[in-house]
Chain A
Amino acid sequence: MLAAILVNGLVLSGIYGMLALGFALTYGVARILNLAHTAFYMAASYFLFFLLGYTGFLPAALLAALLVLGLALLAYRFLLEPLREHEATVLIVTIAIALLFQEVLLLLFGGHFRSVPALLPGFVELLGVRVAQQALLALAFAALVLLLAWAFLKGSRIGLAIRAAAQDMEAAELVGVSLSRAGYWAVGLGALLAALAGLAVAPMATLEPHMWTAPLLVVLAAVVLGGLGSLPGALLGAVILAFAEVVVVNLVPGGAFLRTAVALSVLVLVLVLKPEGLFGTSFAEER
């Protein structure tokens, strides 16, 4: 049981980690509470499913990621950036975008459950637990992507600008960071991370046009748990919530109904004790 929790928790952490980091980047730098974030993740899985009919896995995956990146940048350029002043408007514009994705996919593919064939079929015995090889591959992929993203954010000048903007927009602008350019980079990187998470999940999960809502709640919770604007916080939040979910599903009777509920109660508890999240910078004083 313990081993199952450990292994499944790690796999789920990897997926949520990619999604949460992307969400945190978009919110931290472009100040967009992007409720369409997991819709991008869903779009990537469906693109992969569609393109696999024509090419091999690698080109299909690459193309899917690029398509999602393009869509996200277009949406940011034409819909979100001009409206950034109106917070509530941005909120419903992102909802509308997510709804549009969902409905277009419903039109094109119908409401059926679809699946992408596993890249590595078969199981291995790990600490006495039967684990799909595909899940281990996804875990390795997630770890690689997160490391690369981290290296990019830590190592490059653009990464420095993005981190500065996420920490304190005004101070970053004062030292010469172009907030508009940092915004495009952050939105692009965020969408790319969402797309990669979608590609990692696609061979393990069933695809259906409503698959974006469940992870959205967890990702929102993870980012807030870690503290909005804090990138390591987002990752830690994702790990905590992934393990909370896996523990509930494995140990509590009827846990499948409660998995999101318990994850969110963890969030409420932490916020009431520590209102700015685990690593949050205090936005309360921002005027």
Chain B
Amino acid sequence: MTGPLRVWSIPWLLLFLRHEVLALPSRVIALLFVLFLLFFPLFSQDPYLLRVLTLSALFALYAASWDLLSGYTGQVSLGHAFFFGISGYASALLGRELGLAPWATIPLGAALATLAGLLVGLPSLRVKGPYLSLVTLAFPILALGIIFLFPNFTGGELGLSGLPRLGQNRLEEYYLVTLTMLVSVYILWRIANSRLGLIFHALREDEAAVRMVGVNTVAYKLLAFAVSAFFAGLAGGLYAHYLRVAGPDSLSLFTSIQPVIWTVFGGIATIYGPVAGAFLLVPLLELLRVAEEWRMVGFAILILLVMRFLPQGVVRGVLDRLEEECPRCKVRNPFTRRRCRVCGVEMRLEVRA
């Protein structure tokens, strides 16, 4: 090759693809997954399949937002439905009272969720560990109590139905939700792998040490809550408009637990883990509808078995078998290679007698 290679030129892109993406099974899987999501409607526009994928994307975003807060900073939130639910309610109420369109109300709902995140984050400055989890648990229950108290304004048990649709048809809604999910997850992933993510990691491992090196832990803990709540709120607003109802279900204990299940199943503190978890489990739950009565039994047993044998989640469990770390330069390699692809050192030392 002659001449300097311009970054973002076509030859550079091809080289990048060959040496950085295709070299590792995990990246190939991620690329195939994104391509699958983007081109799926070319092959099938079955409304049912589109619906399952759209819901999976919504839950993936919701779970990834949970992972940034709970996986990275270790502040396990058991009340994430608070952000998800109030954003949906806020969006519905703004639409009803002010007549705004969804593209305006959903961001406003997410902004409100961000404020709620700061509010829920305030106790985190004093309360830690399991105590904090239980404090967060209280918020959606409180919100639910208030919603039931004012049924004329909030719709009570029935919730607010008949919200405006996200798009003209299922296909438009699919692309809107999927693209929002991909962009948001990419942003979350970049955050998690930046200096900020490093500080979040450190907060989980040893908060006192982080404070000792002069990091303002208060600001970072609140920031984690705010960012996570924003994306959870985004997912909640989209979800309410997709189903066209904002109801008390979106604040229930089960809605709070869901992102925990998707994330831990996929792999906690990875960002892509929750996405994998949601895209594996949500369609699976649909598939289990063939045996409606046994559906949740099968689901529970599956989770028990998978967690028993892959306690770190499916993604880590599978990738650890497909890839291994170079003992010298710590770069990951596919399991097929005998020598590291970067430093050329032998991956496995032969044991000689």
Identify the A interface with B (CB < 8 A). Answer: 27, 33, 78-79, 82-83, 85-86, 88-89, 91-93, 95-97, 99-100, 102-104, 106-107, 213, 217, 220-221, 224, 228, 254, 257-258, 260-262, 264-265, 267-268, 271-272, 275-277, 283-284, 287
Contacts and interface: CB of A to CB of B under 8 A. Distances in A.
A103 B149 contact: no
Contacts of A272: 123, 126-127
Contact of A93 (B133, B134, B253, B307): B307
Contacts of A79: 304, 308
Contact of B141 (A102, A104, A217, A277): A217
15 contacts: A83-B308, A86-B311, A88-B268, A96-B307, A99-B296, A103-B297, A104-B297, A228-B131, A258-B148, A261-B145, A262-B145, A268-B135, A272-B123, A277-B131, A283-B129
Given A92-B264, A93-B304, A276 B145 contact: no
Contacts of B129: 283-284
Given A100-B297, A100-B304, A217-B137, A275 B127 contact: yes
B131 A92 contact: no
Contact of B301 (A83, A100, A260, A284): A100
Interface of B: 70-71, 76, 123, 126-131, 133-135, 137-138, 141-142, 144-146, 148-149, 206, 253, 257, 260-261, 263-265, 268, 293-294, 296-297, 299-301, 303-304, 307-308, 311-312
B145 A224 contact: no
Given A83-B308, A257-B149, A96 B135 contact: no
Chain A interface mostly: helix
A267 B301 CA distance: 34
Contact of A257 (B123, B131, B148): B148
Nearest to A262: B145
A139 B314 CA distance: 47
Nearest to A252: B149
A92 B265 contact: yes
B142 A95 contact: no
B67 to A, nearest CB: 10
Contact of B134 (A83, A224, A276): A224
Given A92-B265, A257-B149, A265-B142, A220 B134 contact: yes
A286 B241 CA distance: 45
A122 B144 CA distance: 36
A254 B308 CA distance: 44
Contacts of A283: 128-130
Nearest to B301: A100
B131 A99 contact: no
A257 B149 CA distance: 7
Contacts of A228: 130-131
Contacts of A271: 123, 126-127, 131, 134-135
A276 B263 CA distance: 28
B69 to A, nearest CB: 13
Contact of B253 (A96, A100, A107, A213): A213
Contacts of A89: 264, 307, 311-312
A39 B130 CA distance: 20
Contact of A88 (B128, B135, B260, B304): B260
B299 A99 contact: yes
B304 A96 contact: yes
B300 A265 contact: no
A193 B239 CA distance: 41
Contacts of B300: 96-97, 99-100, 103
Contacts of A102: 296
